[in-house]
Amino acid sequence: MDQKELRELEKRCIQEEPPWCAAACPLHVDARSFAGCMSRGDWEGARKVLEKAMPFPGVFGRVCDHPCQEKCKRGEAGDPVAIGALERACVQAVSSQAPVRALPSRGRSVAVMGGGPAALVVAWDLARKGYGVEMRVRRNELGGTLRDFPANLLPPEVVREETDVLLQLGVEVHAGCSLDGALLEELRGRRDAVFIEVEDDIGEGWGLERDEKGGILADERTRATSLPGVFAGGGSRESVILAAARGRWAATSMDRHLQGVSPTAGREKEGPCETRLFTSLEGVDALPVVPPADPAQGYGREEAMEEAARCLQCQCLECVKICPYLERFGGYPKRYAREIYNNESIVMGERKGNLLVNSCSLCRLCEEVCPENFSMADLCHAARESMVSRGKMPPSAHEFALRDMAFSNGEKCALFRSQPGHPSSAYLFFPGCQLSASAPHRVERVYEGLCSSLEGGVGLALGCCGAPARWAARNDLLHEALEAFKGRWEAMGKPKILVACPSCYQVFKEKLPQAPATFLWEVLETTLEPLEAAQPLRQVALHDPCAARHEPDLLDTVRRLLQRRGFDVEELKTGGVLTECCGYGGLMANANPPVARAVVERRAGETSRGFVTYCAMCRDRLARAGKPALHLLDALLEGVDTEEAAGRKPPGYSQRRENRARLKRSLLKTLWGEEEDVAVEEHESVVVRMEPDLEELLEDRRILAEDLRHVIHEAEKRGRKLVHRETGRFLAAFKPAAVTYWVEYSPSEDGFTVHNAYSHRMEVLERGPR
Amino acid sequence: MKPAYEDPTPPPWDCACGKELEKRRVVLTYMGNEFTVELYQCPSCRFVYVPEDLALGKMAEVEKILEDK
C-alpha cells in the first residue's frame, strides 16, 4: 500500500465526516460537541467549543440564524435540535473562557471599511494573526446592522463589550467616516490590503466592478474584487452568520494575499458543504423539541440540558457496532487503515499493528453494513500477504492452524478414491477437514447415501481445501494444496465436486475455477426422502456461515431443506447476507482467542433458541459457547435425534485430529477393504490420560495429545527428566518442531497420567554465554 | 537484554540423573536474538528447568515483542 492507496482507502471510511449541523454551518461550528457538553451540564466546555470556530461568540451565539437546524439529523426523528436557542442559553449564562490574544506583529497592515458583522470578523481574524488593522466606520460605533437586532435579543452593551476586544487587540477604529471611492484610494495607498463591507448598492466612483444590484462584484468564496488586494463581503440581511462567514473567508484571502500564497488551495470545505456521514436512526424514538417555559427568556439550565440531550451525537460506526473485533481495537476503519499502513512502514521497532491485522475474521460483514463498502477483509488480507512476503509475519499467529492443515493433508487423513467398483467418477464428495473432524460418522453416512443415490460413480476426497493457508496469506501452502488436489481430480476424470463446507466452496470457486464445485445440499434436495418421525428439536435459529454470505442460491437451498424437514426456523437479524462470523474465519481464533470468543458469544446471545448451521466449525464453536447446535446434516438425515445431536460436545483439537484419521481408516477398511499402511511412530503408542479440566486447559494452550505423547516418549526413552522431591512426578520437555512442550506426568497402570503441560517458543540452549 | 527471570527459591525438582539443580547462566534464543538468563540446570546432564510461570509469563511476553519486531 502506498500513500495514495491509503488516502483512497481512508476516504471510504466516513466516520470522520462532519455531522450535518457542522457541515451546514458557514463557520463549521461543531454543534455536535457543543450539544454534547450542554447535555452533560458542562457549559464552560460548550462555550469553548463555540469559541473555537465562532468570532464574537457573545454576539453570534445570541443572534445566529442557525442554518444547521434545517439539516439536523434529529429532524428525521422528531424536531431538529434547537441549536440556536442552546447557543443563546450558553453565551447568556457563561462568559468568555479564554482571553483573545494576537500573534506577534507581522509588520503589515490592512484597512477595513465598515463596522457590521463581516467587517468585525475581518478585523477579529486579522488582528489576531498579527496584522495592524484600521477600521473606518460610517456610524459612530461598531456593530453596523448588529445594532438593528432588538435589544432584548442582542443588548447594545453586549455588542460594546464584545467589540471592545478589537480595541484590546490594537485595532484602530475611526467612527463617523464617509465610506467612498476616495477613501478606498487613500487606504489602498497606505495599507497592504483593504476589506469593504457592503450592503446592496454602493453607488458610483469606487473603481470596482459591480454586480447587477449595484453592489461590489466579489468572488463568492475568496471575496476578491476586481482590484488586487481589495476584498468585499457582507450582505447581512439574508443571514447574519453567512455575513460573518464571508468576513472570515475574506480575512483568509487577505492573509494569503499578503503572504503571497495560493488564494484557493485547500479551501474546498470552507463554508456550508455536504457531508457523506451516515447515521442510523434504527431504534431512535421520535422526540419533539423541548419548549422553554419562558420563550422570551429562552432555555433555563435544566431545559437546555434536556434539549441538548436530544442530539443524536451523529456518527456512523455501523461496522464497529456489529463487530466485536472492530470494537476491541478502540477505533474505526479509517484509523485502522492508517495504523496498518504505519505498521507496514516500520523498519526498526515494534509492529504494534500485527495483532490488528491478524485478528480480522475476513468475514466481510463490515462491507455489507458500510455505506461505502469499506473492506477490513481486503485491507487485512493484503497486509498479511505483505507481512508474509517480507518475512515479518509473527510465526505464532497461524502456525497451529497451518499444522492442522498439514495434518489433514498428510498421509494419516488424506484420501482420494473412486467409488468401490466404479472405474470412473461422475462426482467427487469433498466433506472438508472440519466436518470430518467434527462428525466423521455423518461423513460416512452421507458418502454411503451418495453412492447409492447418484449414478456414474461418486469418488471421495478427504483433506483440507487450503482455506487456512488462504486466511494466513500463505499462498505457497495454498498453491501446494490446490495443485495436489487438482492433479488427482484431473486423473479421476474431472468429476463434479460436491462440497459440504462454504469455506471449501469459496476456495474452489475463487482459486480453482476450472474445478466446478456444487453444494452437497443441492444434491440432497433432489434425493431427500420424507422423514418417518418428527424431530424432537425443531425450533431453531439459523446461523449462516460467513462464507455463505454471497451465495444466494445456497442461502435459499438451506432454507428450503429445513422447511421440508419441518423445522420452525428463526431468521436472525444478522442472517443471510448480513450474517456474523463464528470467530474461526480468517484464523481469528488462532491469532486472537479472546476476540474470537467475544464474537461467538455475541452470536450465541442473539437468540434463546438452539442453532442450526451448515459449517462444522460454526456448529462446534456455537456448541462450545454453550448453545445447542445442529449441523445441517443432523437436521436432514433420517433417524437422527436432533436434541441429542444438538447437545453433542464439540471435539477438542486432539480429538479432531483423531476423528479425521479414524475416518480414513474406517472408510478404507469398510468400503475398499484395505488396511492403512502408514507407519506408526513409536511415540504414538504412548497412552496418556488426564482430568477433563486439564483437557480444557490444554485446549486453550493448544497442546495436543500428540505433543504430550512426544514429550513423555522422549523423556522415558532418554531418561532426561526432572523428579519432584515430594510427589515423585516427572517433568520433561521436548521440542518436536518450533515449540517446546513441558509435561508433568506420572506413570499409571496402562500408560501415563498427565498433571500439567505448558509450552514456549523460545529455545533454551543448554550452555552458558560464550 | 537483562536476565528475563530470576527465581529466588530453588525448585522442588531434582534431575532424574540424581543431581540437584544449580542456578546457572544459560542462553535463550528466539528469531535470531540471543540473551542470557539465570535458570536452574543440572550440573551433570545440563538439563535446564523452565518453570511454568516463566514460560507463560515473561518468556511469552518477550516472544511476542520479538515476533513483532
A765 to chain B, closest Cα gap in Å: 5
Cβ distance A733 to B16 less than 8 Å, yes or no, reads no
Which CATH number fits the domain that encloses residue A40?
1.10.1060.10
- Are A538 and A522 in a shared domain? no
Same domain, A607 and A742: no
Contacts of A731 in chain B (CB under 8 A): 13, 49
Residue A722's closest chain B neighbor by CA?
B15
Distance in Å, alpha carbon of A733 to nearest chain B alpha carbon: 9
Cα distance between residue A571 and residue A562, in whole Å: 12
User: A351 contacts in B (CB within 8 Å)?
Assistant: 68-69
pLDDT of residue A235: 65
* Residue B35: closest C-alpha in chain A: A769
- Measured CA to CA, the distance from residue A332 to residue A326 in angstroms comes to 7
Which helix H or strand E contains A400, and what residues bound it?
helix A399-408
Residue type, A601: E
Closest CA to A319 of A361, A275, A381: A361
Q: Check whether residue A79 and residue A132 sit in a common domain.
A: no
In this prediction, residue A200 carries a pLDDT of: 65
How far does Cα B68 stand from its chain's mean position?
A: 22
Residue A397 lies inside a defined structural domain of this protein: no
Q: What digits encode the pLDDT tens for the residues A506-536?
A: 999 999 999 889 999 999 998 877 766 667 7
Best probe of the B interface among A762, A763, A765, A766, by most B CBs < 10 A, is A762
Which residues constitute the domain of residue A185?
Answer: 109-259
B interface test, pick of A351, A760, A763 with most B CB neighbours within 10 Å? A760
A764, containing H or E segment: strand A763-765
Contact (CB, 8 A) for A505 and A551: yes
**CB-CB: which of B12, B36, B62 is closest to A726?**
B12
Of the partner residues A722, A761, A768, the one whose CB lies closest to the CB of residue B15: A722
Same domain, A511 and A542: no
B2 has pLDDT over 50:
no
Please identify every stretch of chain A with a pLDDT value under 70, giving residue numbers as ranges: 199-201, 235-237, 531-534
Q: Which residue has the cell 466546555?
A: A45
Tell me: do A144 and A166 sit in the same domain.
yes
CA atoms within 13 Å, Cβ hemisphere of A466:
23
A134 and A223 in a common domain: yes
| pLDDT of amino acid A291 | 96
Give one DSSP letter per residue of A331-382, joined into a string: S-HHHHHHHHHHHHH-SSS--TTHHHHHH-----HHHHH-TT---HHHHHHH
Looking at the domain assignment, is residue A494 inside a domain? Answer: yes
Q: End-to-end CA distance of chain A, in Å?
A: 43
Question: Chains A, B: CB contacts under 8 A, how many?
Answer: 98
Phi, psi of A244, deg, nearest 5: -60, -40
List the single residue in B with minimal CA-CA distance to A719.
B16
Q: Do A207 and A294 fall into the same domain?
A: no
Give the start-to-end residue ranges of the domains of chain B.
1-69
Instruction: Measure the CA–CA gap between A202 and A218, rounded to whole angstroms.
Output: 13
Reading the block at residue A124, the C-alpha cell is: 477579529
For residue B1, pLDDT beyond 50: no
Look up residue A325 and give its three cell numbers. 473485533
Q: Which residues of B touch A740 (CB under 8 A)?
A: 50
Do A351 and B46 make contact, defined as CB atoms within 8 angstroms? no
**Residue A60 covered by a domain:** yes
- Residues of chain B whose beta carbon is less than 8 angstroms from a beta carbon of chain A are 12-17, 21, 24-31, 36, 39, 41, 45-50, 52, 55-56, 59-60, 62-65, 67-69
Contacts of A282 (CB under 8 A, 6+ apart): none
Average pLDDT over residues B7-35: 90
What per-residue confidence (pLDDT) applies to B4? 47
CB–CB of B25 and A726 under 8 A? no
Q: Enumerate the residues of chain A whose CB falls inside 8 A of the CB of residue B56.
A: 758, 760
- CB contacts of B39 in chain A (<8 Å) are 764
- Please check whether residues A126 and A252 belong to one and the same domain: yes
Least Cα separation, residue A720 to chain B (angstroms): 7
Which grid coordinates are listed for A473? Answer: 496469506
Residues A583 and A362: their CA atoms lie apart, in Å, by 10
Q: How many CB atoms lie within 10 A of CB A36?
A: 18
Dump pLDDT digits (tens) for A291-327.
999 998 899 999 999 999 999 999 999 999 999 999 9
Q: Which helix (H) or strand (E) segment is A497 a member of?
A: strand A496-499
Asked if residue A666 is part of any domain, the answer here is: no
- Helix, strand or coil for residue A517? strand
Residue A665 maps to a domain = no
Whether A766 is in a domain gets the answer no
* Interface residues from chain A to B (CB-CB < 8 Å): 349-352, 354, 394-397, 719-726, 730-731, 733, 740, 742, 756, 758-769
- CA A49 to chain centroid, in Å, comes to 28
**Nearest residue on chain B to A348, judged by CA atoms?**
B69
Query: Residue A334: which of A355, A354, A320, A351 has the closest Cα?
Result: A320
How do strand A610-613 and strand A629-631 relate by DSSP bridges?
A: parallel
Return the closest-CA partner of residue A72 out of A44, A43, A35.
A35
- C-alpha–C-alpha distance, residues A232 and A217, integer Å: 8
B30 vs A720, A742, A761: nearest CB: A761
Same domain, A700 and A739: yes
Does any domain span residue A491?
yes
Q: Is A672 part of any domain? A: no
Single out the residue of A21, A103, A31 nearest to residue A68, CA to CA: A21
Nearest CA in chain B to A357: B68
Residues in B closer than 8 angstroms to A730, CB to CB, are 16
Tell me, yes or no, whether A534 and A515 share the same domain: no
The domain total for chain A is: 6
pLDDT at B3 over 80: no
> Which residue, A500, A526, A552, sits at the end of a domain?
A526
Residue with cell 494444496: A481
Per-residue pLDDT for B5 more than 70?
no
Q: Report how far apart, in Å, the C-alpha atoms of A343 and of each of A31, A189, A333, A355, B64 are.
A: 35, 56, 15, 10, 15
Which residues of chain B are within 8 Å of residue A726 when distances are taken between CB atoms? 12
Q: With an 8 Å Cβ cutoff, are A723 and B49 in contact?
A: no
Between B24, B36, B45, which is nearest A720 by CB? Answer: B45
Adjacent-strand bridge partners of A570: A541
Q: Which of A464, A494, A526 finishes a domain?
A: A526
Taking contacts as CB-CB distances below 8 angstroms, the residues of chain B near A722 are 13-16, 21, 47, 49
How close B19 gets to chain A, by Cα (Å)?
Answer: 10
Are A474 and A539 found together in one domain?
no
**Residue among B21, B50, B60 minimizing CB distance to A764:** B50
- According to CATH, the topology of domain B1-69 is Ubiquitin-like (UB roll) (3.10.20)
Q: Nearest chain B Cα to A767, which residue? A: B26
Q: Count H helices and E strands in chain B, helices first.
A: 2, 4
Domain stops at, among A461, A494, A526: A526
What residue ranges in A80-235 does DSSP mark as E strands? 109-113, 132-136, 172-174, 193-198, 230-234
**Beta strands per DSSP E along A104-257:** 109-113, 132-136, 172-174, 193-198, 230-234
- Determine the Cα–Cα distance for residues A438 and A394; give it in Å rounded to an integer: 29
| Widest Cα–Cα separation across chain B | 41
Same domain, A446 and A327: no
Return the ∠ at Cα A73 (arms to A68 and A74), rounded to 5°: 100
Under an 8 A CB cutoff, do A722 and B67 touch? no
